[in-house]
Amino acid sequence: MTTKNLEKKIIKKVFKLEAKNTFFEMASKVIGLLLLVFFVWIFATTILDILKEQGSFDLFFFFRDNVEVMRRYFLENVVTFYDETPKLLLFILFSLFAGLLLLVLTIVKNYGKISNKIKSLYNFYKKNE
């Protein structure tokens, strides 16, 4: 095999490797994003349903009363509301949300790199088809 042929073979293998890696990276990020959004939505709606059933939101209807009543009972109502929240579910929701935020930040940070990779792969396969 001449050196030129060997070089072409190396470049082809590298592009094939990178195509596979980029595909799996994008697929895993999309699946991760969808799963996290789904579970955040599930937990958020579940917590809201529990709070509605308990009538916990009634604690904030005092906003309809005058400012003096609101000021006097605000802290106490907030503490009571917090006591009534399903803490474990809330913790899971915040963890999932933090994970979702982290994933979104990672995607935004690597957007340029992935975009360049896709462009390079497209140009390579277009040139070699």
Partner 1 sequence: MTGDKEIIESIRRGEIDKFSTIVEKYTTGVYRFISLKIYNKDDVDDLVQESFINFYKAIEKFDTKRPVLPYLLEIAKNEMKMYFRSHKKALPLNENMVTEKDDIETFDMNILKHLTAEESRLLRDFSEGFSLAEIGRKYRVPVNTVKSKVRRARIKLKKIYDDKKS
Among 120, 125, 126, 129, binds partner 1 (CB under 8 A): 120
Residue with token string 């904030």: 60
Cα atoms in the Cβ-side hemisphere of radius 13 Å centred on 123: 6
- The Cα 38–Cα 32 span in angstroms is 10
- The Cα 127–Cα 124 span in angstroms is 5
1-60 positions binding partner 1, by CB under 8 A: 1, 3, 6-7, 9-11, 13-15, 17-18
93-112 positions binding partner 1, by CB under 8 A: 112
Measuring CA to CA, how many Å separate 62 from each of 54, 57, 65, 68?
A: 17, 10, 5, 11
- The distance of closest approach from Cβ of residue 11 to partner 1 in the complex, given in angstroms and rounded to an integer, is 5
Among 28, 95, 116, 128, binds partner 1 (CB under 8 A): 116
Q: Which residues bind partner 1 (CB under 8 A)?
A: 1, 3, 6-7, 9-11, 13-15, 17-18, 112-117, 120-121, 123-124
